[in-house]
Amino acid sequence: MADLTQEEWVEQLANDSNAVILDVRTDDEVDQGFIANAKHIDFYLGQEFVNQLDELDKTKNYYVYCRSGARSGKACEIMDQLGIENSYNLLGGFNEWAGEVEER
């Protein structure tokens, strides 16, 4: 797991052909907009969240974000425990995201 600034996150993501963007916010938060191509798994699903993380392809590189960076940091820690070696937490989360945003 690594914490990345938005600039680092965007640059690394752009050069990563094995990348998956993971949004761990709630449905209500996602309704306010999301980063393009993000896979959504709600952090607050508890054990179901862990189960869904465990089903992810462990060979991929995961770029994880939430609203502020706290939940996504915890999600990256859980992913490490599940054997997902490459997870990157977006510092500041969606609140500080200055890139493009999509809507449902």
Active site residues: 66
Other Cβ atoms within 10 Å of 81 Cβ, number: 11
Is residue 94 within 8 Å of residue 66, measured between CB atoms?
yes
Residues in the chain, how many? 104
Residues 55, 5, 74, 86, CA torsion sign: positive
From CA 35, how far away is CA 37, in angstroms rounded? 7
